[in-house]
């Protein structure tokens, strides 16, 4: 197998693009896809600071690496969820990565700041861990990014993440979520960051291959709370379709984005935001989801967890 660009020995085949690359050409392809996303979707410019949500996994570390190599001013933002060994290893990966490259980062620890880890918090509010985690991460990442003067928050969601999420939303006809599923979510309020997903043009296996080639040391284990997640089922289904017909995943997601852009031009989606009466952060309801969660925890959780907030 030869590289389609330079005829050197290829190390990866990309059936969806009907091509194959040697290491340098593959590296260039990956960086080009990220630049294309940033510029083509007007995600951010070099004058803006970008907070990068880093879990310690391959996607977020690859994203941070590429953005810093491209010369963007970045700040790593790690949420320590307090899930035992998994969280300790994840944070260590972020620390080692950042110090080897002299990159700044901030850690927000749920145990230090809120008195409990995500599993206990979720139990305290009688919600699935991922539901409580989503609310807490969204809220804190937004607040911390803006506190550090970063108007943009970049996450490592890749093509597989976005296509499987789309499949889940379509299977359940979750129209509200469909409207919000975009690689760029503009800041519809001065207290909100612009959320961007610069890896959305790259498949998970491409990112994993790039991480290995660049010797990026990441945590391979998934979060223990993700066991049984429907997203794995949707990813698996899409991978089977992809094997049978390369390009299916890409087409599914990109054609959705084309339709979404066309719809947004006819009737732009403007969320109806006000400020939460409890914390002052933007919210669609009188009290934001985060303050509701904290309120439930304070009312119902064990005394040991009442130190939250
Ligand atoms: S970190 Fe949080 Fe994920 Fe773990 S608890 Fe669920 S949502 S699975 S991205
Ligand atoms: Zn609030």
The string of pLDDT tens digits covering residues 74-90 is 999 999 999 999 999 99
Ligand 1 binding pocket (C-beta < 6 A) is: 81, 118, 129-130, 133-134, 223, 225-226
- The pTM score is 0.94
The atom of ligand 1 lying closest to the CA of 129 is 5
| Predicted local distance difference test score (pLDDT) of residue 167 | 97
Ligand nearest the Cα atom of residue 87: 1
- Residue 226 above 50 pLDDT? yes
- From the number of C-beta atoms within 10 Å of its C-beta (0-12, 13-18, 19+), residue 241 rates as middle
Residue whose CA lies nearest to ligand 1 atom number 1: 223
What would the mean pLDDT of 122-136 be, rounded to a whole number? 94
What is the distance between the terminal CA atoms of the chain, rounded to a whole angstrom?
Answer: 57
Percent of the chain predicted with pLDDT > 90: 85
**Helical packing angle, 248-266 and 230-244, nearest 10°:** 110
Mutate to test the pocket of ligand 1, among 125, 130, 136, 197 (most ligand atoms within 8 A of CB): 130
- Residue 309 above 50 pLDDT? no
- Residue 306 above 60 pLDDT? no
- Residue 269 above 70 pLDDT? no
Residue list, CB under 5 A from ion ligand 2: 276, 278-279, 288, 291
Mutate to test the pocket of ligand 1, among 223, 227, 228, 231 (most ligand atoms within 8 A of CB): 223
The atom of ligand 1 lying closest to the CA of 137 is 2
| Predicted local distance difference test score (pLDDT) of residue 268 | 65
CATH of span 40-214+227-300: 3.40.50.620
Range with lowest mean pLDDT among 147-156, 198-207, 296-305: 296-305
Residue whose CA lies nearest to ligand 1 atom number 7: 130
- Residue 307 above 90 pLDDT? no
Residue 256 CA to residue 284 CA, distance in Å, equals: 26
Cβ(144)–Cβ(77) under 8 Å?
Answer: yes
Pair of tokens at residue 8: 């050197």
- Residue 6 above 90 pLDDT? yes
Mutate to test the pocket of ligand 1, among 108, 121, 140, 225 (most ligand atoms within 8 A of CB): 225
Q: Would you state the torsion angle of the CA atoms of residues 291, 305, 122, 184, taken in this order, to the nearest 10 degrees?
A: 40
Cβ(275)–Cβ(283) under 8 Å?
Answer: yes
């Amino acid at each position: 197998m030869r590289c389609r660009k330079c005829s050197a020995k290829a190390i990866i085949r990309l059936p969806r693009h009907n091509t194959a690359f040697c290491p340098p050409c593959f590296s260039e392809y990956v960086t080009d896809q990220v630049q294309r996303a940033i510029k083509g979707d007007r995600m951010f410019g070099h004058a803006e600071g970008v907070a990068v949500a880093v879990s310690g996994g391959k996607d977020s570390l690859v994203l941070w690496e590429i953005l810093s190599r491209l010369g963007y001013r970045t700040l790593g933002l790690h949420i320590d969820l307090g899930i035992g060994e998994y969280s300790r290893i994840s944070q260590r990966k972020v620390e080692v990565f950042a110090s080897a490259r002299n990159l700044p980062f901030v850690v927000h620890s749920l145990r230090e700041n809120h008195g409990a880890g995500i599993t206990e918090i979720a139990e305290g509010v009688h919600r699935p861990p991922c539901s409580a985690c989503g609310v807490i991460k969204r809220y804190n990442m937004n607040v911390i990014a803006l506190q550090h003067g970063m108007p943009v928050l970049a996450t490592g969601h890749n093509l597989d993440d976005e296509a499987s999420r789309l499949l889940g939303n379509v299977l359940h006809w979750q129209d509200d979520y469909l409207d919000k599923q975009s690689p760029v979510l503009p800041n519809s309020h001065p207290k909100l960051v612009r959320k961007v997903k610069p890896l959305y043009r790259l498949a998970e296996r491409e990112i994993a291959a790039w991480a290995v080639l660049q010797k990026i040391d990441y945590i391979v284990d998934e979060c223990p709370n993700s066991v049984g997640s429907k997203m794995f089922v949707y990813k698996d289904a899409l991978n089977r379709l992809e094997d049978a017909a390369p390009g299916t995943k890409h087409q599914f997601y990109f054609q959705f984005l084309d339709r979404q852009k066309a719809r947004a031009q006819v009737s732009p989606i403007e969320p109806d935001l006000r400020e939460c009466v409890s914390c002052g952060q933007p919210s669609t309801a009188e009290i934001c989801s985060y303050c509701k969660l904290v309120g439930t925890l304070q009312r119902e959780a064990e005394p040991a967890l009442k130190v939250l907030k």
